[in-house]
């Protein structure tokens, strides 16, 4: 995973050399995402800059990636897990210039004029821009869920600019905004088109559908196996919660063989390393140790102090480009953990994001009144992931050049897990959340981990973390300041002093209306959709997004 930056729609008379220097300066703001090498393409129509984090083909996969005739120029942030299958399925020869997994995008573009068709064949996480010099056309696309960040806007001269992070464009594009997941933009038509759309988005398509437990389990195993594609040292994030533990358990089964050689050769790094972080005595550190001992990983449990987390807040907010309370609470320990992981020479980790959205793992799902509303809420949560958990995991880790991968959001696994009737996923009346997933992996983990109650990451690292953040905000935000929050911050006014404090830091880094609008509005509680608020009147009055705020839901549901 890397960073990309592009400037398009250059006009006769533009000082291309000055624009190139400007593009390099902007790209440097996101070089933390790709510290291994920088590449630039410049011509009279486009400028592309790529900052590389070398994961696959470290010696020869530098970007931008050019076709043999030089007519196609590609800059990608991401990984294409099924690149070998795609190469074998090509109908016409293509002269690959590197061993990069991403170069297959050039081949698919040249072979198939239907952009939606071949984009839907990609299994991976990606944000890319492709410049077709002969047609003077550029294509911009983002992966289905939005695991990889991407922003775009127009500069003062009307040129289209794109970047992996908002900080590269914040003072260049007054209209900077997130590029939507699952979409592509074709400059020839000037249209933004949704290419990723699945039947399971409609609840009616899932009614009566059952997915056998072995099929669900094997689908996740295949997703983890695919995502072990790497030529550099890697590990797994292991909080001791269900989701990260399942990913680690699957990875442990494949770690000793090299995926890139169809498991025929021994892995270059056969010992699986796992990583956890928390305050001293945190629930996650204790649970992660139990899971690691059961799985036989080389485990690294790191402690951080509240003061270290507090000191990091301004940098965290600058990196994640959000003022959302839940996101910042969880991003800070993840940011600190990424630094420790980087210091150990690890460049890629597997993580457990996405499971709660797919299986209704948040505690408020216990209140879902029926399968239709349960299903619709999981779809809404998946649609919002690119502004919350995916944003957090990607930017907090990539702040230190560590690539996070998310097997639960593998497109093939999503098609298996989301096509089932939501009545099989529902919790409540004595049934714990994500019971179906737990049952599918019976025997993979100790029962204390497999059946561990849901805790948000920001809770699991230690309850003193959230309590301390609230107390810190009380010291720094006066009652008078908070009373004027709506006039001070008219876009998404903060609902708590903690939210006000984060918003103040955010505005110092990212002033301007467009930057403020890039962050989702409303309350920062996980169940803030109109649908979920209707499930229980108590949700409407809740301003604290902590899992503990709805812990009574869990206790009541289990009776």
Q: Output the 3-class SS for 50-68.
A: EEECCCCCCCCCCCCEECC
Q: Beta strands of 218-310 (E only): which ranges?
A: 234-237, 273-278, 298-303
Residue 340, preceding bond cis, omega within 30 degrees? no
| Residue 161 annotated to the active site | no
Residues 43 and 72: their CA atoms lie apart, in Å, by 12
What is the pairing mode between strands 137-142 and 124-132? antiparallel
CB 312 within 8 A of CB 332: yes
CB atoms within 10 A of CB 155: 17
Residues 431 and 439: their CA atoms lie apart, in Å, by 12
Q: Which residue has the tokens 């503990």?
A: 548
Q: Rounded to a whole number, what is the largest CA-CA distance in the chain?
A: 73
Instruction: Supply the DSSP symbol for 190.
Output: T
Residues 397 and 342: their CA atoms lie apart, in Å, by 9
Q: What are phi and psi of 280, to 5 degrees?
A: -55, 130
Three-state DSSP state, 302: strand
Q: Which residue has the tokens 């600058």?
A: 318
Residues 435 and 365: their CA atoms lie apart, in Å, by 12
Q: Which residue has the tokens 């609840």?
A: 203
Provide the β-strand partners of residue 193: 184
Token pair, residue 223, equals 């997703």
Provide the β-strand partners of residue 7: 47, 161
Residues 6+ apart with CB under 8 A from 522: 492, 528
Residues 147 and 141: their CA atoms lie apart, in Å, by 12
3-state helix, strand, coil in the chain (%, to 5): 45, 15, 40
Three-state DSSP state, 40: strand
The string of DSSP codes covering 123-178 is -EEEEEEEEETTTTEEEEEE-SS--S--EEEE-TT--EEEESSGGGTTTT-TT-EE
Which helix or strand (DSSP H or E) is residue 39 part of?
strand 37-42
Token pair, residue 558, equals 């289990």
Active site residues: 2
């Amino acid at each position: 995973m890397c960073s990309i930056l592009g400037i398009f729609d250059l006009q006769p008379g533009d000082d291309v050399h000055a624009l190139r220097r400007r593009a390099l300066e902007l790209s440097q703001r996101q070089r933390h995402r790709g510290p291994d090498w920088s590449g630039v393409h410049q011509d009279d129509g486009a400028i592309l800059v790529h900052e590389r984090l070398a994961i696959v083909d470290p010696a020869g996969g530098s970007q931008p990636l050019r076709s043999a005739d030089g007519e196609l120029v590609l800059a990608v942030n991401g990984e294409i897990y099924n690149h070998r299958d795609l190469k074998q399925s090509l109908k016409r020869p293509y002269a690959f210039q590197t061993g990069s997994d991403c170069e297959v995008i050039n081949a698919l573009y040249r072979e198939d004029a239907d952009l939606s068709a071949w984009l839907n064949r990609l299994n991976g996480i990606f944000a890319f821009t492709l410049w077709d010099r002969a047609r003077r056309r550029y294509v911009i696309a983002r992966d289905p869920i939005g695991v990889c960040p991407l922003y775009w806007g127009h500069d003062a001269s009307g040129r289209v600019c794109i970047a992996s992070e908002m900080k590269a464009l914040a003072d260049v594009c007054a209209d900077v905004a997130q590029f939507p997941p699952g979409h592509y933009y074709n400059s020839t038509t000037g249209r933004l088109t949704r290419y990723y759309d699945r039947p399971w988005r409609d609840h009616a398509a899932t009614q009566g559908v059952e997915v056998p437990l072995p099929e669900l389990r094997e689908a996740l195993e295949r997703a983890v196996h695919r995502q072990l594609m790497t030529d550099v040292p890697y590990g797994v994030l292991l909080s001791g919660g269900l989701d990260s533990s399942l990913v680690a358990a699957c990875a442990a089964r494949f770690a000793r063989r090299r995926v890139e050689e169809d498991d025929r050769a021994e892995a270059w790094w056969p010992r699986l390393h796992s990583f956890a972080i928390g305050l001293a005595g945190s629930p996650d550190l204790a649970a992660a140790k139990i899971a690691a001992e059961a799985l036989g990983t080389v485990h690294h449990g790191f402690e951080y102090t509240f003061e270290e987390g507090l000191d990091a807040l301004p940098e965290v907010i600058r990196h994640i480009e959000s003022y959302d309370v839940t996101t910042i609470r969880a991003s800070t320990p993840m940011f600190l953990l990424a630094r420790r992981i980087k210091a150990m020479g690890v460049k890629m980790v597997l993580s457990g994001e996405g499971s709660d959205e797919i299986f209704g793992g948040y505690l408020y799902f216990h209140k879902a009144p029926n399968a239709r509303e349960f299903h619709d809420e999981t779809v809404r949560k998946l649609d919002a992931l690119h502004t919350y958990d995916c944003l957090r995991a990607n930017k907090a880790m990539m702040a230190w050049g560590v690539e996070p991968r998310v097997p639960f959001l593998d497109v093939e696994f999503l098609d298996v897990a989301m096509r089932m009737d939501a009545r099989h996923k529902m919790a409540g009346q004595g049934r714990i959340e994500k019971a179906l997933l737990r049952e599918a992996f019976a025997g993979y983990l100790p029962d204390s981990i497999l059946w561990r109650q849901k805790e948000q990451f920001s809770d699991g690292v230690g309850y003193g973390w959230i309590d301390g953040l609230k107390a810190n905000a009380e010291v720094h935000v006066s009652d008078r300041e908070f009373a004027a929050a709506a006039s001070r911050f008219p876009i998404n006014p903060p609902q708590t002093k903690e939210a006000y404090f984060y918003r103040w830091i955010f505005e110092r880094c990212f002033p301007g209306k467009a930057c403020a609008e890039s962050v989702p509005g409303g309350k920062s509680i996980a169940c803030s959709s109109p649908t979920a608020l209707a499930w229980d009147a108590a949700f409407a009055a809740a301003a604290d997004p902590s899992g503990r705020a709805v812990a009574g839901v869990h206790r009541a549901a289990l009776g």
